């Protein structure tokens, strides 16, 4: 009985430990940590000086930039991927990038007109967008590759204080951008022109730490502000506050959001006060506290290989992790080893069939169907999808019998398969 009791105590302690935040080795290399992101099964980290990555859950790290940036006071604040290209937004020198998955690096500031205080870089896999804060301001775009930036001049977006962009996301063919003081804008032509949405109920400035402030889970939009998290279910026409129970910042009850992140299904948030963090598994309707073991404020989250990682803001360590909270047991917890497009089933089919695909990391993907002449006949997926396994149904009831092709495409993957419709 004594042995059983000892084993029970050990199990309880280990379970408690796994439910808390712990440091990722080696903690001393991460001062000034600002950003973590999962990409193709690897975890990338941006600090004030360099970009690192790990392939073994943080036990060993590779310095990718090795002092490429030599600028006192700089902070590398954001990382985005498009094919072999890696883009990094910074606090003092604009944007730099690698065209070869981190082997070499170069400045990426042509066309930015001297803008240097980057707030976000965002890519949908085809184009990349960058937004700049005081003192230069500006909102720019270009194809997601080496080349010159083009300034976006549309309806005041990005033109100056209050109109500078703090977050972006894409749902189907519509881009959304969150401005600091004038709410959400949308674009249906890949970012060339923008229209301001109604934004009813969005009363707080979209501001805070360097991070993307605008996210979506399916058709629903979420934006983090200086006072709370807001949700829209009608394409940013109206907003409802959803951060019930969060720690407040001051005597006025302000809830200053530092970071908002989604793994495609769940929401994670951190606040400025009390080193607090929260998770919602139901679209912001309810939240659970995941602050155990936190010592500092979190600036960035990333789900990686079944664990939740974060970059925290202070000197003793800026990369931490914990087990995914209880109740999050979805297909993202164990990532597929590679991107894959499966053969549809049944095949031949009449009139519908199921198409399955796997994503190694969260990616903006399209899944399209073409006829034998190469004409597009259906778009089944056109949005960012979480890492894991996905299925969609294709209905060919309005098509004639024959051979069709379906293509899965992302920034890192392109695969096409053949199927046959027989009526």
- Annotate 171-228 with DSSP letters as a single string: ETTEEEEEESSS-EEEESSTTSS-EE---BT--S----SSS--EEEETTEEEEEETTE
State residue 32's pLDDT score: 65
Helix (H, G, I), strand (E, B) or coil at 127: strand
Distance spanning both ends of the chain, measured CA to CA: 69
State residue 87's pLDDT score: 97
State residue 400's pLDDT score: 95
Closest by CA position to 183, among listed 122, 137, 258, 239: 239
Output the CA angle 71-74-76, nearest 5 degrees: 120
Tokens representing 334 are 């164990």
**Digits of tens for pLDDT over the chain (423 positions)?**
445 444 343 333 344 344 799 888 765 555 567 899 999 889 999 988 899 999 998 889 999 999 898 887 788 889 999 989 999 999 899 999 999 999 999 999 999 988 889 989 999 988 999 999 988 999 999 999 999 999 999 999 999 999 999 999 999 889 999 999 999 999 999 999 999 999 999 988 887 666 789 999 989 999 999 899 999 999 999 999 999 888 777 777 888 899 999 988 899 999 877 689 999 999 998 999 999 888 888 989 999 988 999 998 766 557 899 998 766 654 444 455 578 898 888 999 999 998 988 888 788 899 999 999 999 999 999 888 877 778 899 999 999 999 999 999 988 788 999 999 999
* Distance separating alpha carbons of residues 328 and 272, to the nearest angstrom: 25
State residue 7's pLDDT score: 39
Q: Which domains does the chain have, with CATH numbers?
A: 2-323 (2.130.10.10), 340-421 (2.60.40.3080)
State residue 220's pLDDT score: 94
State residue 112's pLDDT score: 95
State residue 205's pLDDT score: 87
State residue 260's pLDDT score: 94
State residue 28's pLDDT score: 54
State residue 358's pLDDT score: 84
Helix (H) or strand (E) holding 18: helix 2-18
- Annotate 381-416 with DSSP letters as a single string: EEEEE-SEEEEEEEE-TTS-SEEEEEEEE-SS-EEE
């Amino acid at each position: 009985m004594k042995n059983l009791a000892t084993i029970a105590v050990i199990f309880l302690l280990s379970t408690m430990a796994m439910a808390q935040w712990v440091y990722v080795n080696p903690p001393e290399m991460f001062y000034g940590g600002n950003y973590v992101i999962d990409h193709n099964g690897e975890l990338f980290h941006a600090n004030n000086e360099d970009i690192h990555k790990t392939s073994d859950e943080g036990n060993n790290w590779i310095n990718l930039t090795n002092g490429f940036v030599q600028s006192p006071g700089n902070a590398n604040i954001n990382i985005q991927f498009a094919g072999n290209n890696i883009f990094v937004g910074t606090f003092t020198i604009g944007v730099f990038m690698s065209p070869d998955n981190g082997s070499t690096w170069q400045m990426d500031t042509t066309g930015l007109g001297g803008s240097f205080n980057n707030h976000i870089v965002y890519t949908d896999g085809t184009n990349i967008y960058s937004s700049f804060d005081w003192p230069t301001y500006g909102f720019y775009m270009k194809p997601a590759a080496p080349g010159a930036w083009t300034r976006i001049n549309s309806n005041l977006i990005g033109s100056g204080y209050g109109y500078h962009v703090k977050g972006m996301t894409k749902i189907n063919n519509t881009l959304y951008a969150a401005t600091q003081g004038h709410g959400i804008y949308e674009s249906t032509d890949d970012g060339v022109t923008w229209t301001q949405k109604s934004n009813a109920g969005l009363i707080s400035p979209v501001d805070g730490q360097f991070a993307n402030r605008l996210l979506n889970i399916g058709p629903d939009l979420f934006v983090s502000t200086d006072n709370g998290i807001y949700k829209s279910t009608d394409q940013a026409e109206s907003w409802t506050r959803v951060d019930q129970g969060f720690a407040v910042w001051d005597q006025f009850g302000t809830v200053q959001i530092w970071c908002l992140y989604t793994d495609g299904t769940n929401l994670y948030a951190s606040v400025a006060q009390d080193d607090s963090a929260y998770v919602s598994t139901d679209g912001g309707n309810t939240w659970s506290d995941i602050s155990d073991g936190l010592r500092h404020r979190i600036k960035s989250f990333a789900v990686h290989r079944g664990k939740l990682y974060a970059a925290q803001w202070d000197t003793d360590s800026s990369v931490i992790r914990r087990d995914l909270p209880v109740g999050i047991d979805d297909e993202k917890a164990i990532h597929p080893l590679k991107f894959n497009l499966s053969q549809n089933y049944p095949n031949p089919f009449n009139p519908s069939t199921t198409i399955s695909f796997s994503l190694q990391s969260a990616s903006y993907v399209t899944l399209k169907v073409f006829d034998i002449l190469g004409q597009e006949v259906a778009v089944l997926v056109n949005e960012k999808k979480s890492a894991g396994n996905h299925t969609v149904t294709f209905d060919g009831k309005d098509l004639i019998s024959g051979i069709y092709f379906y293509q899965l495409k992302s920034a890192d993957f392109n695969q096409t398969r053949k199927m046959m419709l027989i009526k």
